[in-house]
Chains A and B, each alone.
Chain A
Amino acid sequence: MSSFDITSTTQPLGRSYLSEITQETLALTKRLFLQLFRRPSTLIAGLLQPLIWLLLFGALFSNAPDDLMPGGISYGRFLGAGVIVFTAFSGALNAGLPVMFDREFGFLNRLLVAPLRSRSSIVFASIIYITVISFLQSFAIMATASFLGYGTPGLGGFVLVLATLLLLVFAVTALSLGLAFALPGHIELIAVIFVANLPLLFASTALAPISFMPTWLGWLAALNPLTFAIEPIRAAYSGSLDLGTVLLHAPYGDMTGYGCLRVLLVLTFGLFLLIRPLLNRKLA
């Protein structure tokens, strides 16, 4: 038997709020990344799936007339923005799954018994994790799109892509975390993800412009948050960085790049405000 005193070491030092919340958030984020690296199949699938979309869908319309797409861009270049946004959206929609599993397996209780300075660190960790993954996926898509000859955004365009993705990822992560606490179990959460994913893709401008769609679908696409993320990124790919120009001819009127980003911003804050009472209650 050892001779040390198991109750002898010093108590935690009093530290600042910011320092403690950073420590909590980094520790929780590290856990998510350790899970990812030790189960890399999800990361590999998450990287491969959008590349397959890009490759197959890009090839599907490769012989389409040059002037088919708005602005005369190739279908591959048109598709790139859609695949980037859809990939980020799918990833963020899954953000609630680890939290749901933690709820189900009781690991969340371990976190809640700890004297977290703010339980928001649980939410922050999820957001950081999903954002990094989404960016990694987006870089892979951009690199592949460039390799396939679908072009690249300039430096400004690149920043616009990241900013737009950031807004979308924040909004959808908030929604997914809200669902993870509102739904009774992972089966229900997966069902919601399954039902939401593809319909939202098809009812957006990811694969085709609104002008190709019947009126009812055009309305849906023009109201779909994915569209408001796709259009600025598509603009970044087209070489035009003037966010004051009209990017979306919606049935209810024209939307500029700024308009699209404003909608995303409102959506992000709105969703966070919407789920806040739920998170406060569940994490109280």
Chain B
Amino acid sequence: MSLLKLKDLVKSYGSVQALKGLTLNVPEGCLYGLLGPNGAGKSTTLRIISTLLAPDSGQVMVSGTDALLDPLSVRRQLGYVAQEVAIDKILTGKELLQLQGDLYHLNRKQRDLRIAELTTRLDMKNWIDRRCGSYSGGMRRRLDLASGLLHQPKLLVLDEPTVGLDIESRSVIWSLLRELQEKGTTILLSSHYLEEVEALSDQIAIIDGGKVIAEGTPNQLKKRLGGDRVTLRVREFSDEDESLAVRELLQSIDGVSEVVINRSQGFSLNLLIDDVSILPQLRNHLEKAEFEIFALSQSRPSLDDVYLQATGKTLMDAELEIAGKRDVKLESKKAMR
């Protein structure tokens, strides 16, 4: 059963269309990863789920409640940890959690018990009584996560929870998320860290250009690619004409199902092969056509391969491409209430 259902979400900021009919179903008790480059529409999706933003059209259902018609009920069931940690630097961590508890209408006993529990669990005892202004990024993120969990939400929404964090904080957060997942909390997590999404998520949706372009478990997505990946470079720095010629040659070989040119990696070629046994044959073909082999590596498919296969570019390329087009100032202005 799906705890969260998003249907045909559309959202524009001026002339920029952030979501173009995004549809997603998050099963109850699942740790669901949203993978995509910055600017793909992940944060906009999460802000809509958390009722901070209204979509131009579409539907958001949380545990059977329409978030657009009854946002208050949805807010009660939801914990939201935003990408930008918004804390009051003057308050101590404990005071911030007390404020949060009061805003969620916990009685004092419940509130203080939860604060004590989360302080211990997130290893915040040594600094929870210090003012937030003195916290490092990792401390802030842990505090933010504690405030999202204070009222024991059914659905925890995390926007890039470990971006820029130290290893210790990342490890604490990963461990807590796994524990929450085991105990049945539904978690929706956005990230552009492949290893994070792969390590934590039961299911993944890859978002590109405001739409879900692939969905499933990490293994399903990788299996859909159908075989092993081979990365081939005929020269250290090839060019487009040469890579196109090599691609044409490779596509004619039986057992090679997909060939994608990776422009950002010196026009290397990423190909999908049915079996490693065709590698000698592949070498022969290249030699006959008088192409040298500068490098050839074979690997099991990764999520980056899934992304590359689905979009024709690596996640890093997509990040760079979008980074050049984004107007962060405009976006933050539009996000301001």
Q: Taking beta carbons and an 8 Å cutoff, which residues of A are in contact with B?
A: 1-2, 4-7, 9-13, 15, 20, 23-24, 26-28, 30-31, 34-35, 38-39, 103-117, 181, 184, 282-283
Asked whether, in the complex, the Cβ of A31 is within 8 Å of the Cβ of B99, the reply is yes
Interface string of B129-153 (1 = CB under 8 A from A): 0010000000000000001010110
CB-defined contacts of B82 to chain A, threshold 8 Å: 106, 109-110
Chain B residue at minimum C-beta to C-beta distance from A38: B90
Closest 10 CB pairs of A and B: A27-B102, A106-B86, A114-B103, A115-B75, A115-B76, A107-B86, A7-B183, A113-B80, A35-B90, A12-B105
* 14 extra A-B contacts, CB within 8 A, seeds A12-B106, A15-B105, A107-B87: A1-B175, A12-B151, A24-B105, A30-B99, A103-B336, A106-B84, A106-B86, A108-B337, A110-B86, A113-B80, A114-B75, A115-B73, A181-B337, A184-B333
A-B contact pairs, 19 of them (CB 8 A): A2-B117, A4-B121, A6-B121, A6-B149, A9-B113, A12-B76, A24-B105, A27-B102, A31-B95, A35-B91, A103-B337, A107-B86, A107-B87, A109-B52, A109-B86, A110-B82, A114-B104, A117-B72, A283-B337
Q: A4-B120, A7-B152, A115-B104 are in contact. Are A27 and B99 (CB under 8 A)?
A: yes
Q: A27-B99, A103-B337 are in contact. Are A9 and B105 (CB under 8 A)?
A: no
Q: How far is the CA of A24 from the CA of B184 in the complex (A)?
A: 29
Q: How far is the CA of A46 from the CA of B102 in the complex (A)?
A: 30
Asked whether, in the complex, the Cβ of A26 is within 8 Å of the Cβ of B102, the reply is yes
Q: Which residues from 284 to 325 on chain B have a C-beta closer than 8 Å to any C-beta of chain A? A: none
Asked whether, in the complex, the Cβ of B151 is within 8 Å of the Cβ of A116, the reply is no
Q: How far is the CA of A140 from the CA of B59 in the complex (A)?
A: 56
Chain B residue at minimum C-beta to C-beta distance from A100: B336
CB-defined contacts of B104 to chain A, threshold 8 Å: 12, 114-115
CB-defined contacts of A34 to chain B, threshold 8 Å: 90-91, 95
CB-defined contacts of B86 to chain A, threshold 8 Å: 105-107, 109-110
Asked whether, in the complex, the Cβ of A9 is within 8 Å of the Cβ of B99, the reply is no
Other-chain contact of A11, B88, B152, B336 (Cβ < 8 Å):
B152
CB-defined contacts of B88 to chain A, threshold 8 Å: 31, 35, 107
Shortest beta-carbon distance from A17 to chain B in Å: 11
Q: A11-B152, A39-B90 are in contact. Are A6 and B180 (CB under 8 A)?
A: yes
Check B110 for interface membership: any CB of A closer than 8 A. yes
Chain A residue at minimum C-beta to C-beta distance from B333: A184
Q: Which residues from 67 to 86 on chain B have a C-beta closer than 8 Å to any C-beta of chain A? A: 72-73, 75-76, 78, 80, 82, 84, 86
Asked whether, in the complex, the Cβ of A115 is within 8 Å of the Cβ of B105, the reply is yes
CB-defined contacts of A107 to chain B, threshold 8 Å: 86-88
Q: How far is the CA of A234 from the CA of B73 in the complex (A)?
A: 51
Asked whether, in the complex, the Cβ of B107 is within 8 Å of the Cβ of A27, the reply is no
Chain A residue at minimum C-beta to C-beta distance from B84: A106
For B106, B175, B184, which residue has the most chain A Cβ atoms within 10 angstroms? Answer: B106
CB-defined contacts of B113 to chain A, threshold 8 Å: 9
CB-defined contacts of B110 to chain A, threshold 8 Å: 9-10, 12
Chain A residue at minimum C-beta to C-beta distance from B76: A115
CB-defined contacts of B106 to chain A, threshold 8 Å: 12
Check B100 for interface membership: any CB of A closer than 8 A. yes
Q: How far is the CA of A211 from the CA of B107 in the complex (A)?
A: 59
CB-defined contacts of B80 to chain A, threshold 8 Å: 113
Check B51 for interface membership: any CB of A closer than 8 A. yes
Q: A20-B105, A24-B102 are in contact. Are A113 and B333 (CB under 8 A)?
A: no
Check B114 for interface membership: any CB of A closer than 8 A. yes
Q: How far is the CA of A103 from the CA of B50 in the complex (A)?
A: 17
Q: How far is the CA of A114 from the CA of B152 in the complex (A)?
A: 13
Chain B residue at minimum C-beta to C-beta distance from A283: B337
Q: Which residues from 171 to 210 on chain B have a C-beta closer than 8 Å to any C-beta of chain A? A: 175-176, 179-180, 183-185
Shortest beta-carbon distance from A186 to chain B in Å: 11
Chain B residue at minimum C-beta to C-beta distance from A104: B336
Shortest beta-carbon distance from A14 to chain B in Å: 9
For B90, B95, B147, which residue has the most chain A Cβ atoms within 10 angstroms? Answer: B90
Shortest beta-carbon distance from A86 to chain B in Å: 28
CB-defined contacts of A12 to chain B, threshold 8 Å: 76, 104-107, 110, 151
Q: A7-B180, A31-B88, A34-B90 are in contact. Are A113 and B102 (CB under 8 A)?
A: no
Q: How far is the CA of A112 from the CA of B50 in the complex (A)?
A: 9
CB-defined contacts of B131 to chain A, threshold 8 Å: 38
Q: A113-B75, A113-B80, A115-B76 are in contact. Are A23 and B102 (CB under 8 A)?
A: yes
Asked whether, in the complex, the Cβ of B337 is within 8 Å of the Cβ of A109, the reply is yes
CB-defined contacts of B35 to chain A, threshold 8 Å: none
CB-defined contacts of A117 to chain B, threshold 8 Å: 72, 105
CB-defined contacts of B40 to chain A, threshold 8 Å: none
Chain B residue at minimum C-beta to C-beta distance from A101: B88
Shortest beta-carbon distance from B136 to chain A in Å: 18
CB-defined contacts of A108 to chain B, threshold 8 Å: 337
Asked whether, in the complex, the Cβ of A9 is within 8 Å of the Cβ of B152, the reply is yes
Shortest beta-carbon distance from A188 to chain B in Å: 13
Asked whether, in the complex, the Cβ of B337 is within 8 Å of the Cβ of A282, the reply is yes
Asked whether, in the complex, the Cβ of B103 is within 8 Å of the Cβ of A9, the reply is no
Q: How far is the CA of A44 from the CA of B73 in the complex (A)?
A: 43
CB-defined contacts of B105 to chain A, threshold 8 Å: 12, 15, 20, 23-24, 115, 117
